[in-house]
């Protein structure tokens, strides 16, 4: 028999880990965020999402500095700290407060903004817990504030007509902006999708937009039908653009550059004023055209699941949010099916006997 090679060697049996007595590793806030950001970038998240993470993390750090929180290690982030930040965003912070070159209006952050910033921090904390950078997720018990849900304000057909009549169609900018509004109202496209359209995305023979996966929020290709009138306006704009600029984009600035969303929003506000629309009562923005399209598509008898495919809602519940019977239809149904109304009719019939 051969000799046991383990003979004479020192054995480690039932020994505790040597790491127990080591000093804990300090992970600074900067290091923790870099680890999170690198992981999300490697997962292939879109640049817009990564940019939001950078911004939301910067806002959180600015708050820590502004109010003198001495946080040197990510493990010092706890539920109490996150709730204090949530309270600050909800009640104390005013939008554009720390943004240069933006008009300060003294308004609080919107519920959607507060929820988005909190959700970003919750995602970071969950990542750190899963990666054993912190012992437990400090955001797991922090909930977003509740708020009342108002009906979406959708502008009327008359208001849309007034908006479409506002641009000067004798100018390139007027043709471009009117076509953009028509396309948004006819397709429900998101503003970034609209302004990223190139001539090759328009299928004139099939009368539709073929939006590639790279431009879709859900990373899947999508087909969006076009009305004949909108298709004609798009063709006219493409011809105007190609006559002045060497570009494949359909919606461009006066200098031939891809049109920016903020510039188009500014144009919309101008047209709303020209159309005599009270923007305090009826908000006018690119996304309101999406609301207008979805609402009217369903009111006019469109199918819920087809609409979901057209506008690329990830969850049909989002699409269902646009199912709103008119006030007249609600009153008519109430009059027909209310138990008191039926009882009154029965009593009136007995009296006539």
In total, the chain counts a number of residues equal to 353
pLDDT of amino acid 11: 58
Please determine, for residue 75, whether its predicted confidence score (pLDDT) is greater than 70.
Answer: yes
Tell me what the pLDDT averaged over the chain comes to.
87
Query: Worst-scoring range by mean pLDDT, 66-75, 246-255, 294-303, 317-326?
Result: 317-326
Residues 56, 121 contacting (CB under 8 angstroms): yes
Tell me how far apart the alpha carbons of residues 291 and 319 are, in angstroms, rounded to a whole number: 10
- In the chain, where the domains are located: 29-130, 157-320
Please determine, for residue 329, whether its predicted confidence score (pLDDT) is greater than 50.
Answer: yes
Tell me how far apart the alpha carbons of residues 32 and 54 are, in angstroms, rounded to a whole number: 13
pLDDT tens across 268-290, in order? 999 999 999 998 888 899 999 99
Please determine, for residue 34, whether its predicted confidence score (pLDDT) is greater than 60.
Answer: yes
Query: Worst-scoring range by mean pLDDT, 82-86, 126-130, 317-321?
Result: 317-321
Percent of the chain as helix, strand, coil, to the nearest 5:
55, 5, 40
Please determine, for residue 332, whether its predicted confidence score (pLDDT) is greater than 50.
Answer: yes
Alpha helices in 131-200 (DSSP H): 157-165, 172-187, 191-195
pLDDT of amino acid 327: 66
Tell me how far apart the alpha carbons of residues 247 and 168 are, in angstroms, rounded to a whole number: 23
pLDDT tens across 100-129, in order? 666 667 788 888 899 999 999 999 999 999
pLDDT of amino acid 121: 97
Q: Which residue would you say has higher pLDDT here, 341 or 233?
A: 233
The sign of the dihedral angle between the CA atoms of 20, 23, 24, 27 is negative
Other Cβ atoms within 10 Å of 262 Cβ, number: 9
291, two tokens: 């609301």
pLDDT of amino acid 19: 46
pLDDT of amino acid 6: 62
Please determine, for residue 17, whether its predicted confidence score (pLDDT) is greater than 70.
Answer: no
pLDDT of amino acid 151: 67
The predicted model scores a pTM of: 0.71
Q: b/e per residue, 7-28, with b = 16+ CB within 10 A?
A: eeeeeeeeeeeeeeeeeeeebe
CA dihedral 186, 189, 192, 195 (to 10 degrees): -30
pLDDT of amino acid 24: 53
Q: b/e per residue, 182-201, with b = 16+ CB within 10 A?
A: bbbbbbbbbbebbbbbeeeb
Task: Work out the angle at residue 343's Cα, subtended by the Cα atoms of residues 337 and 346, and round it to the nearest 5 degrees.
Answer: 110
pLDDT of amino acid 333: 78
| pLDDT band per the 50, 70, 90 thresholds, residue 84 | very high
Ramachandran angles phi, psi of 167, nearest 5°: -65, 150
Query: Domain 157-320 is in which class?
Result: mainly alpha
pLDDT tens across 164-205, in order? 999 999 999 999 999 999 999 999 999 999 999 999 999 999
């Amino acid at each position: 028999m051969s000799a046991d090679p383990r003979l004479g060697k020192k054995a480690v049996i039932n020994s505790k880990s040597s790491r127990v007595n080591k000093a804990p590793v300090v992970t600074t806030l900067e290091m923790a965020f870099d680890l999170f950001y690198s992981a999300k970038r490697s997962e292939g998240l879109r640049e817009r999402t990564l940019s939001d993470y950078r911004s939301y993390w910067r806002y959180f750090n600015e708050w820590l500095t502004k109010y003198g929180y001495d946080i040197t290690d990510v493990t010092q982030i706890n539920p109490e700290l996150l709730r204090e930040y949530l309270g600050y965003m909800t009640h104390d912070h005013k939008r554009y407060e720390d943004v240069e070159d933006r008009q300060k209006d003294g308004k609080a952050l919107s519920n959607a903004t507060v929820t988005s910033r909190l959700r970003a921090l919750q995602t970071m904390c969950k990542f750190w817990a899963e990666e054993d950078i912190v012992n437990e997720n400090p955001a797991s018990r922090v909930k977003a504030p509740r708020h009342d849900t108002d009906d979406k304000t959708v502008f009327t057909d008359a208001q849309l007509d007034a908006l479409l009549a506002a641009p000067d169609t004798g100018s390139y900018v007027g043709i471009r902006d009117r076509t953009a509004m028509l396309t948004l109202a006819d397709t429900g496209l998101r503003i970034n999708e609209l302004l990223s359209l190139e001539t090759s995305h328009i299928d004139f023979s099939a009368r539709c937009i073929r939006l590639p996966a790279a431009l879709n929020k859900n990373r899947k290709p999508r087909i969006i039908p076009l009305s004949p009138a909108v298709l004609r306006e798009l063709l006219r704009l493409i011809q105007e653009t190609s006559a002045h600029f060497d570009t494949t984009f359909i919606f461009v600035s006066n200098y031939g550059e891809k049109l920016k969303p903020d510039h188009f929003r500014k144009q919309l506000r101008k047209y709303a004023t020209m159309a005599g629309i009270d923007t305090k009562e009826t908000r006018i923005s690119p996304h309101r055209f999406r609301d207008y399209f979805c609402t009217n598509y369903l009111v006019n008898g469109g199918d819920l699941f087809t609409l979901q495919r057209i506008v690329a809602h990830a969850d049909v519940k989002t699409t269902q949010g646009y199912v709103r019977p008119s006030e007249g239809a609600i009153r008519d149904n109430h009059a027909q099916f209310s138990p008191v109304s039926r009882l009154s009719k029965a009593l009136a019939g007995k009296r006539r006997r």
